[in-house]
Every structure is written in C-alpha cells, then in structure tokens.
Amino acid sequence: MGYKTYRLPLPTPLRTAHGCWNVREGIIVRLEDEIGRVGYGEVAPIPWFGTESLEEADRICRELGDSVTDEILDAVPQRFGCVRFALAAARDRGASPFPERRLPVAALLPPGRAGLKKLPKKLAAGFLAFKWKVGVGEVNSEIAMMDDLLAMMPASGRLRLDANGAWSHRLAARWCERCVGRPIEFIEQPIPPADEDGLRGLAKEYPVPIALDESTVHLQDMQRWHSRGWTGIYVVKPSLAGPLDELQRVVDELSLDVVLSSAIETTIGLRAVLAEALRGRLTKRALGAGRGEIFGQRVFDGPPLGPFLDEAWLVSANPEGVWNALN
C-alpha cells in the first residue's frame, strides 16, 4: 500500500457557519494487488464534523505499512470512518459496470449576494436544485436574499437551506415560518446537533422538511436517530461515514430518506461516492455534488459536473492523474 498526503488551497474560500475554509487537507491511498490491479481511495476528514483528524489518519496509514491483507484492512476500528471509506474504495477498483441512468445534481450557491449572482448561470446550465449556505450573515438580510433567490427560480426549482447548526431554536423557528408553502426542499441542520429535542420539535411543529447533517456523520448516528423515531431526511457525506457497502446496507435496512453530499473531496473521493450512487439505491434526491471547480485545477476537481450525473463523468474522471499530480 502506498499513500500521499495533500494540502490544496481553495482559490475561493468556502464560507459556512463553521467559518471560512481556505485549505483542504487529506490523504490519497493506493492499493495494488498481486496481479497488478490498482485502486485509489481518499481520506478526507472534517474534524469539526466529528471525524478523525488528519494526524490520526496519517498514523493509521503509516502503521498499515507497505504490504496489507484484507484482514488487516478490515481490522481498522469503526471510529476511523474516513480511513475505512478510502481503503474500501481502493479495494473496489471500480470493477462492476455502471447502469445506463442519470441522476440529478444540486448546485452549491455561495452565501450572501454571491449566491444571487451565481444563480442565473446555474439556471442557464440546466440546474433545478440548489443548496444555499445560510447562517453566515445578518438574518434579515439573508431572509430578504432568500426571497430574491426564490423569485428568480422557475416553478420546478427547489432550494435547500444549509445552516450548519448556526441558528438558535427561536431563529430556526422564524426561518421555518418564512419557508412554509414555498419551494424549499428542506432546511439542513438548522440548530446544533447537541439539541436533539429541538430538532425533533422543529420537525413536528412545521411542515417544512428538516434534514440532519452534522447530527448524523457516522453510520451509528443514523441508526440511533432512526431508532428514536426520526422520519426526516438524512444528509450523508459518504466519505466521512465509512465503506459505501455498509452505508448501502443501513439505507436499505432502515428505508432512510438520504441526500448524498460532497465533503469537498478531490476527484478520487467524489468519484467513489458518485459511482456508488449511480450503481445503487442510495438516494432518490438530487446529489449534493454540484460544487463547481472548487480547487481551480481540473485534475483535482474532475470533469465539469452538470445538472445530471451519468456514466460519462465517471469514465472521464482520472484518479491516477490525482496520484501523479501529488509530490
């Protein structure tokens, strides 16, 4: 097994309620079997979401060594979901074929007025689902801008609001009241994950769908929320949760309503997620993968992703190119 760490600046920093994200760090792993077949995986942790740290992931990769077996890889503890995702993806090697189908993609809009400027271009490209970061600016201004966004969208358009847990319960209730009867697909993580009773209360009190994100980073989180009666939406970043086949089993067994979301991975991690989405039954909702050229380099961003994902994007993506581009 080989691995390389990376540290890639984001030309346009990603602003969320968690702060300003300027640099993406992670690890690319490479596995080659005895007959020369090569597979790649990506460790893309987000520690403030509750994943392992980059330092912990690097230590595990170092301890695994150059020569590994399936038994050794399977023994990586469950709490290291990002590492387990990467190793499983590298072992998969994309062997199974892709079905002839297309899945809709949601475009990411930057917070504030930058979102208003970007929306017309995304509409012209054919996108109908959009994710807009909120909880970043002053509330009255953001609500007014939401009204402007909705006024610009066609009747078939849908808007997702992502607060990243920034609101108080009172403020979240205000947003929910404003969104009733409007084309809001869901409000994502309106209040902090620690306020579980508050999240359940919002879901019961308002007809606007509520989605969990930071609350359900790991597969065990999804199972726990389901066991306690959550019937809402789960926004899942598969590259944080663990091996994709395990995620598929949990979704199937519990009949979860899932949205798949990017964790700002390179081509390697994103391709693994989108390939599983195209092959399986993980979601019926638009994929949260329309982030644009976030790294500003085609080798790391992958081919341009339009309003629909199909086999052509997956075939054009070049994992080996990412590996070769890293020192």
Q: 167-190 b/e with 16+ CB inside 10 Å = b?
A: bebeebbebbeebeeeebbbbbbb
Pick the catalytic residue from 4, 117, 131, 237: 237
Pick the catalytic residue from 117, 133, 204, 284: 133
Q: Which residues contact 126 (CB under 8 A, 6 or more apart)?
A: 306, 307, 308
CA distance 325 to 4: 10
Q: Is 133 a catalytic residue?
A: yes
DSSP label at residue 99: P
CA distance 242 to 97: 22
What one-letter code names the amino acid at 235? V
C-beta contacts of 293-299 below 8 A and 24+ residues apart: 294/10, 294/12, 294/14, 294/264, 295/8, 295/10, 295/11, 295/24, 295/266, 296/10, 296/11, 296/12, 297/8, 297/325, 299/267, 299/325
For the chain, what is the total number of helices (H) and then of strands (E)?
A: 14, 12
Q: Is 4 a catalytic residue?
A: no
CA distance 110 to 160: 12
List active site positions: 133, 237
